[in-house]
Structure 1
Amino acid sequence: MTTIELAREGFRRAQNREDKVYEAMNLLARANRSVLDAAVLQEAFTTSDFPVLLADAFERQAVGAYRDTPKEFEDVLVDVTVEDFHRRKLVDLWGADAFEKVEEGEEYKGGKLNETKVEHGLGKYGRTYQVTWELFKSRRFSELANFPRTLGQGAVKSQNNSVADLLVTGGAWNADFFGEVATVPLNADTLRAAITALSTRENHRGELVDVSDLHLVHGPALRAQVTDLLVNLSEIEVTTDLGGGKASKVKITNPFRNLVKPLESRSVGQRLGAAGATAWALVQGKSSDLPSIIRTNLAGHPEVDIRVKRDQGQRVGGGDVPIEDGSFNDDTIAYRGRSVLGIDPAFTEGVYASKGA
């Protein structure tokens, strides 16, 4: 009979907590390789320190998955951090007042940060997953090792969905966000006209709208067309007015390269449905002085929080029951992922949408 000596395991021999956490996850990963490794893992679960170290590893893995999972709208989300769940008016941090001339010996005039009409706040998202006691007994440890990634990816999907729900409603661009939705196809002429229209609007400060950080939002069906128009083509064909009701097509150097950035979203494409083959929109980027979408974060809380439910009960003769023996009610081990953030419209004077021809 093989004797298991946990003192030799990395999670016990490591000199600092960082290495102990790493070794705990490493032991879980090894458990599918041999009967001995599986037996070592099962023995480790009976200790007081290993489940705690593994829980820490799970949270780090979930956060890593959160950071690695594609965030479709990261380039157009402006972050604001708050201390609580109260909704509040957005302070305009992007609209600096011009300095006023100060005469000799004259006091400087005071300025202030203006509170806007835009409201923003937090939302809470989460999901629980249950791992069965039978999973441990059948040594299906790969399923246990994979679930933190599922929680991290789920947190990102909830964010992607929140933004897509803001932009699209009922299979069409959200008129409450975009205002009047045009009916023009995407091409060089219509994109140029849209940018011109935005550049002549005034924002809430009475200034002309900035068009230096625009993102063209579209579904996967428009990928080839958008890529050609914004990235691939060095020259494009545009319509030139010759006067007298006459027009001509001419080729010019592509003005949209490095001016407008493509933003493809599967979440948007799914919500647009059939309209995703033609619909397109312009949204301000995060470096604009007129951000279109605000992401609210809760101070001091991670991107995704992982917890395990402790409801195993106690032995009849006394003593705690380890987590891996399962819940008192149904023998499951329940893990919960939580993400706290808010997605709200900001300044929408700088957005444009068309459902296509």
Structure 2
Amino acid sequence: MRRSLLVVAVLLAGLVPTLPAAAKTEPGKPKVAVIGTGGTITGVAGDRSDFEEYKGSSLPIADIVESLRPELDAVADVTSAEGPEQTAMTDYYDLSLQVDRELRTADAVVVTSGTKSLEELAYFLDLTVRSPKPVIVTGSMRPSNVFSADGPANLYDSIVLAASERTRCFGTVVMLDDEILAAREATKTSTLRLDTFQAREQGVLGTVDGKRIRLLRAPARIQDCGKNSWRTPFDVSRIKRDELPRTEIVSSYPDAGGEAITAFAEAGARGIVVAGDPSPGEASALRGVLGEGVTVVAAARTGSGAVYEAGAPGVLPAEDLLPQKARILLLLTLATTREPEDIAKRFARYGVPQFTS
């Protein structure tokens, strides 16, 4: 086993409560706030066998929560509220503030989301939420009224995990199909399968089976639990909502032209993530926009692996961040500093957190 895994075990033993989720019962049940942001989990199909044709965001999240009672009442004191549907970065901004507001009185928050952009939403919350209390993001691949709908089980598991408070100081985690994934690493890999969310090379953080929670590892930021350094500099309460910088993703392929890169820069993009090795046309356009002050990040388009060296002066390597995750980090970095040296340092530190011993 790697030495870092031993460090994780020590940290988990010292910082994370070891009681099972069921240990907290009346009196003093944990308070869990559920925030619904639409998606398949609240969707309704025309008939119970139609897994693919349905209307998303058809039900209030309160209906899904109520369907879990009375069993849910033995786990936690659960409240529900609607949040913004996740269609724009300003929605992410609003939701991050809403999560922190809920955590002033709740012990943990569960956010339900559509799965198409769940991984970006979870990573945004991971980087911006100020409270170290547990934040769990979940969703479903099937609408609420079909055979074997996965939403109720995913929501129940998420509330069990949240109520246990065992992911305190983990940052935001993703909980679907019985598996706990780090927000930084979780990615959707299938449009249909229930086990669509994977962490690829890194693996799961743990599992939830009924009320049995198994934690196998922790995100590196747990090292700073209880310290000011646990929080990132990406405090959205200090960022103007209407001034979130525009950031874009460009995919590379043979004979790709550089016109899209140039057009993005002319439209006001302050950052561009390039997925894959740029073509000659793209490389020429990138040199031009770099000279105009646009920040460029090089990411792999393979879904795993890493880019350690960007291959061009002034271009930042994404390492093993997926392009869509690199864009989120780049946006928040550019929203909090304009200094090239600080941009590089923040991107490296918060994009690739590691255990230090």
TM-score, normalising length: structure 2: 0.20
State the structure with bigger RCO (CA 8 A, min sep 6), 1 or 2: 1
Bigger Cα Rg: 1
TM-score, normalising length: structure 1: 0.20
Q: Which has the higher strand share?
A: 1
